[in-house]
Amino acid sequence: MTALNKKTVDDLKVKGQKVLVRCDFNVPLKNGVITDENRIVAALPTIKKLIADGAQVILCSHLGKPKGEPKPELSLAPVAKRLSELLGQEVVFAADDNVVGDNAKAAVAAMKDGDVVLLQNTRYRAEETKNGEAFSKELGSLADIFVNDAFGAAHRAHCSTVGVVSYVKEAAVGYLIEKELKYLGGAVENPVRPFVTILGGAKVADKLTVIENLLNKADTLIIGGGMSYTFLAAKGYGVGTSLLDSEKIDYCADMLKKAEEKGVKILLPVDCVIAKNFPDPIDADIDTQVVDADKIPADSMSLDIGPKTAEMFADAVKSAKTVVWNGPMGVFENPTLAKGTIAVAKSLAETDAVTIIGGGDSAAAVNTRGFGDKMSHISTGGGASLEFLEGTELPGIAAGDNQ
Ligand code: AMP
């Protein structure tokens, strides 16, 4: 799947048209202050292009999980304020608990070419996540054209990503979605080799299809984090009280066999950082020890990759030309257990290879350690990029008009 067969903002004639743009403004907030504005910044190119071309730009997004009712702490008002600063022009915030109620309609009716209005959190409406017809129609009634630029929500068939398309004259994808597909699609479909993928995170079960799909594409598959212990168990190692999905041991054994048949290298931890208990709270001080991966005591759990493993993974990254990474190597929320994840982030920062971070925790790990600008691409969508790596069609992209 690529964006190439989809209409993009460059194919639209927008002068004097009302254009509804679905953005991903799902940013972290602390006491009403935006703590990471990457997603807002990533939405700017499409918004600026539409303003420059004389569109009347109506923006919409979800924020958090208000579960179908107005929640003041999940209002998009702080985003409107920050966006006004970043664009250097007023963004009118249509505060409206119905999202498309009288306030929003009045704000949209008063727009002139080049104006920008931001609607309230689309998930204030319960129909949003059910792709309900009435709300889709209301959203569509505001605009002539719909542009989806919310990569982070493209794996969801909701009113504001899919349903609305039936109620506008034209539907296209924005520059952010185009960029995400260029990097993620390019890496998966046509990687410069060697192509190394790194998977981590908590559970094997969440990444079954990704593992299978990547076995057909990658030269080396690195597996760390909580999911690696089911693989170690499949090799016959005792993993103590580490995270283990006992129902998936056979699956992991099968993947190891398939990888061997296909000539794909799978790298698993060779040493582990163990502790007696999971840290509580998660960032609490913790006593740890490093042991070989086949020597995890029965009463201990592994919570990070060890230094030998970090070096082995970094070596594999060094010889790669394309690297895709999704999921932390350990309990990276704890400074003592973040070393493996940081070592991997550093190895990606130091290579000339194309480096793609699949959103979510890995993106946070890279950004908070100051490695962000060293990566070729950091996806704005954790879930969406994972589904993309699985080879699944993303409904929010599929819904747009073909070229
Ligand atoms: P995911 O949402 O699947 O990407 O998983 C991310 C979570 O996996 C993070 O919150 C990590 O703390 C957790 N995690 C990574 N490695 C381990 C581990 N060895 N044991 C327990 N949890 C882990």
Give distance in angstroms: CA of 200 to centre of ligand 1: 7
pLDDT at 368: 87
Question: pLDDT digit string (tens) for 91-146?
Answer: 999 999 999 999 999 999 999 999 999 999 999 999 999 999 999 999 999 999 99
3-state secondary structure of 293: helix
**Alpha carbons within 13 A on the beta-carbon side of 4:** 6
What is the DSSP pairing of strand 145-148 with strand 170-173? parallel
Distance CA 311, CA 308 (A): 5
Is 330 a pocket residue for ligand 1 (Cβ < 6 Å)? yes
Count the Cβ atoms, other than its own, within 10 Å of residue 281: 7
Locate all alpha helices (DSSP H) within 184-338, ordered by sequence.
186-189, 208-215, 228-234, 249-262, 307-318
Question: pLDDT digit string (tens) for 392-401?
Answer: 889 999 999 9
Give distance in angstroms: CA of 368 to centre of ligand 1: 17
Nearest to 59 by CA among 102, 93, 9, 101: 93
Active site residue 360: yes
Nearest CA to ligand 1 atom 18: 226
Is 383 a pocket residue for ligand 1 (Cβ < 6 Å)? no
Is 43 a pocket residue for ligand 1 (Cβ < 6 Å)? no
Active site residue 64: no
pLDDT at 2: 46
Please identify, by atom number, the ligand 1 atom nearest to the C-alpha of residue 225.
Answer: 16
pTM: 0.89
DSSP state of 245: -
pLDDT at 189: 87
Nearest to 383 by CA among 130, 65, 155: 155
Distance CA 188, CA 184 (A): 6
What is the DSSP pairing of strand 354-357 with strand 322-326? parallel
Give distance in angstroms: CA of 325 to centre of ligand 1: 14
Average pLDDT for the chain: 95
Question: pLDDT digit string (tens) for 293-342?
Answer: 999 999 999 999 999 999 999 999 999 999 999 999 999 999 999 999 99
Active site residue 203: yes
β-pair partners for 198: 222, 325
pLDDT at 4: 58
pLDDT at 146: 98
Contact 137, 161 (CB under 8 A): no
Q: Which residues of the chain have pLDDT under 50?
A: 1-3
Contact 386, 202 (CB under 8 A): no
Contact 358, 326 (CB under 8 A): yes
